[in-house]
Amino acid sequence: MREIAITDDQYEQLKKASARQQIPRTGKPISDLVEAAIDNAIDGEYGTAHRERLRQAFRESAGTAGPEDFDGLSSEEYVEKIRRGWGERAGALGGNGR
C-alpha cells in the first residue's frame, strides 16, 4: 500500500465525484476512484484495453461499406481518386498535397 499526495482542490473534486456514484448512501469510495483513474492512465490511450476496443470496433465495422460507397470503383481506384482530390485542394491552397 502506498500513499499519494493530492491538492485540496483535487480532494474536493474526488469527494464530489464519489458522492455522484450510484452506490446507496455512501457513494463510491475515493480510493476506488483513484485506483480506477490510475488504471485508466496506465492502460489508457496506448494500453492493451484501448487497443482491444479499437480492434473490436474494426472487426464490427468490417464489410459495412458496399460497392455503392466507392462510386463503382475498386477500393484501390477510390483511394487514388481521394488522394488526387486532396492534392488538388492542397495545390489550390498553395500546398504541395503531401
19: Cβ contacts below 8 Å, ≥ 6 apart: 27
Q: How many beta carbons lie within 10 A of that of residue 73, not counting itself?
A: 13
Q: How far apart are CA 9 and CA 98, in angstroms?
A: 46
Predicted confidence at residue 46, as pLDDT, reads 65
Over residues 52-93, the pLDDT tens digits come to 888 888 888 877 777 677 778 887 888 888 888 777 777 777
Predicted confidence at residue 25, as pLDDT, reads 57
Please determine, for residue 97, whether its predicted confidence score (pLDDT) is greater than 70: no
C-alpha cell at 73: 470503383
Q: How far apart are CA 74 and CA 36, in angstroms?
A: 46
